């Protein structure tokens, strides 16, 4: 029996009560120390797991942003804006990101199962998330009748409706007007910093080209000009064309069963290496006109004439930039074939107008306009209304 021992005179003696109490106390201390060690280890493991979860979430979100944002401007035809909208919690841009056409070497990724509506420029208008901006107001083409392969990609942060914390956000990714996909949850701001800040390329006197930060109060930046590179592409719209990078800053959080929040933060500058590199297919495709022809009757010194006005073609100020002249036709009554051109006007002017004084009272006329490039090829015709001469 473990509690009994033999004495030298042959008698047997058991353990005393004091000895048993000491043994129990020592055993309790050992068990308590072991349990405390296990609790500390479990808590440290839980903390490490939460931090690891937050870190993995942050890394995934940042890598997705970097992989996609670096494609901004990829294979975007001239005339189609590259960066469309730059806000503190949303960025929208064009890129030939994905294609479902085998052998298409211009897109960044080949995705056979990509829906047709997500591998080309948006054909229908939509509201850019987190804004009141409806976009686009035109259909962008890479050639007459061929829609641009550069789709609209949008990243935006929005409050998480399933969270009780107002600062919890979800990072979404959206292509054209498609259904947004969740990139990451558990995203919060770093202090009061915006999620996105932008770097613009400036030409400073005595310094040359340099990257400079856009003040937060100057946001948002919207490329409101329909056609990139035209005379209307100035002021705020032109600022969008000069942006060459974005600083992305946010925290990723994870909450453990004990309710304690662990988080990790990161801030990274992502450059736009393809910005400003729109492909120019000089003298290759049929020129894009993209303007209307206005014809109005004028009376000068008791004699009538017709004044014709129009804007520069898309392929003169942008696109292929290969328009060398404008060709004008005239036909009586607005009926029958156009026949030979009536007049040609050299390209390169700020404003375009001409006057037809060879008209007769009581007759009607109609005019047509086309842009001609250096191949020479003609664009499609822009026709005026039929003009009646008093």
Token output for 50:
């939460």
Give just the sign of the alpha carbon dihedral 329, 331, 334, 338: negative
The Cα 12–Cα 1 span in angstroms is 11
* Helix (H), strand (E) counts: the chain: 3, 26
The Cα 96–Cα 74 span in angstroms is 5
Angle, CA of 146, 148 and 150, to the nearest 5°: 160
Token output for 143:
């050639």
Give just the sign of the alpha carbon dihedral 37, 43, 45, 51: negative
Phi, psi of 353 (to 5 degrees): -160, 155
Whole-prediction pTM = 0.62
105 has pLDDT over 80: no
For the segment 356-382, the average pLDDT, to the nearest whole number, is 90
> Could you read off the pLDDT of 114-130 as tens digits, one per residue?
888 889 999 899 999 99
What local confidence, expressed as pLDDT, does residue 9 receive?
57
Token output for 345:
């006007």
What local confidence, expressed as pLDDT, does residue 256 receive?
63
Token output for 380:
């499609």
For the segment 19-25, the average pLDDT, to the nearest whole number, is 75
Q: Cis peptide before 270, with omega less than 30 degrees from 0?
A: no
1 has pLDDT over 50: no
> Could you read off the pLDDT of 315-330 as tens digits, one per residue?
888 777 778 889 999 9
Token output for 70:
């670096």
Q: Closest Cα to residue 224, out of 350, 310, 135, 321?
A: 135
| Among 22-31, 234-243, 269-278, 344-353, the least confident range | 22-31
What local confidence, expressed as pLDDT, does residue 202 receive?
75
Residues 6+ apart with CB under 8 A from 11: none
What local confidence, expressed as pLDDT, does residue 385 receive?
94
Fold type of domain 294-388? Immunoglobulin-like (2.60.40)
> Could you read off the pLDDT of 71-90 as tens digits, one per residue?
999 989 878 899 999 999 99
**Alpha carbon distances (Å) from 261 to 50, 186, 198, 279, 337:** 8, 11, 30, 49, 77
Strands 90-95, 294-300: pairing kind? unpaired
For the segment 30-35, the average pLDDT, to the nearest whole number, is 70
Please tell me the chain's helix, strand, coil percentages from 3-state DSSP, rounded to the nearest 5.
20, 35, 45
Which value, in Å, is the radius of gyration of the alpha carbons in the chain? 35
What local confidence, expressed as pLDDT, does residue 334 receive?
84
> Could you read off the pLDDT of 215-258 as tens digits, one per residue?
999 999 999 888 777 667 777 788 898 899 999 999 998 766 55
Give just the sign of the alpha carbon dihedral 232, 235, 240, 243: positive
pLDDT above 70: percentage of residues in the chain: 84
Residue span(s) of the chain under CATH 2.60.40.10 come to 294-388
How high is the mean pLDDT of the chain?
Answer: 84
42 has pLDDT over 80: no
What local confidence, expressed as pLDDT, does residue 258 receive?
59
End-to-end, the C-alpha distance of the chain in Å comes to 134
Higher pLDDT, residue 22 or 356: 356
Higher pLDDT, residue 314 or 249: 249
What local confidence, expressed as pLDDT, does residue 37 receive?
60
**Alpha carbon distances (Å) from 91 to 37, 87, 334:** 49, 6, 48
Higher pLDDT, residue 16 or 159: 159
């Amino acid at each position: 029996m473990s509690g009994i021992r033999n004495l030298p005179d042959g008698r047997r003696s058991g353990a005393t009560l004091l000895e048993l109490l000491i043994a129990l106390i020592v055993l309790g201390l050992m068990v308590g120390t072991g349990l405390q060690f296990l609790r500390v280890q479990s808590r440290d493991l839980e903390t490490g797991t939460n931090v690891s979860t937050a870190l993995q979430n942050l890394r995934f979100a940042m890598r997705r942003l970097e992989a996609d944002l670096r494609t901004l401007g990829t294979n975007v035809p001239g005339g189609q804006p590259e960066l469309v909208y730059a806000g503190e919690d949303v960025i929208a841009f064009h890129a030939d990101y994905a294609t479902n056409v085998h052998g298409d070497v211009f897109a960044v990724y080949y995705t056979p199962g990509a829906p047709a509506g997500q591998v080309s420029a948006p054909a229908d208008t939509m509201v850019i998330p987190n804004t009141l901006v409806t976009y686009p107001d035109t259909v962008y083409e890479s050639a007459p009748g061929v829609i641009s392969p550069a789709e609209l990609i949008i990243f935006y942060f929005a409050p998480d409706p399933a969270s009780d914390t107002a600062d919890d956000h979800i990072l979404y990714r959206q292509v054209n007007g498609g259904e947004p996909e969740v990139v990451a949850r558990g995203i919060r701001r770093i202090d009061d910093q915006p999620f996105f800040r932008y770097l613009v390329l400036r030409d400073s006197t005595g310094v040359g080209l340099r990257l400079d930060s856009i003040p937060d109060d100057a946001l948002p930046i919207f490329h409101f000009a329909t056609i990139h590179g035209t005379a209307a592409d100035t002021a705020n719209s032109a600022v969008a064309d000069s942006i060459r990078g974005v600083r992305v800053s946010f925290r990723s959080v994870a909450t453990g069963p004990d309710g304690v929040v662990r988080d990790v933060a990161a801030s990274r500058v992502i450059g736009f290496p393809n910005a400003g590199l729109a492909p120019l297919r000089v003298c290759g495709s049929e020129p894009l006109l993209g303007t209307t022809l206005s014809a109005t009757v004028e009376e000068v010194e008791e004699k009538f004439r017709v004044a014709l006005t129009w804007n520069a073609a898309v392929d003169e100020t942008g696109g292929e930039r290969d328009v060398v002249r404008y060709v004008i036709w005239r036909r009586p009554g607005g009926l029958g074939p156009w026949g030979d051109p009536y007049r040609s006007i050299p390209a390169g002017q700020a404003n375009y107008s001409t006057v037809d004084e060879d008209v007769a009272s009581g007759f009607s006329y109609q005019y047509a306009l086309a842009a001609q490039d250096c191949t020479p090829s003609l664009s499609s015709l822009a026709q005026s209304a039929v003009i009646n001469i008093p």
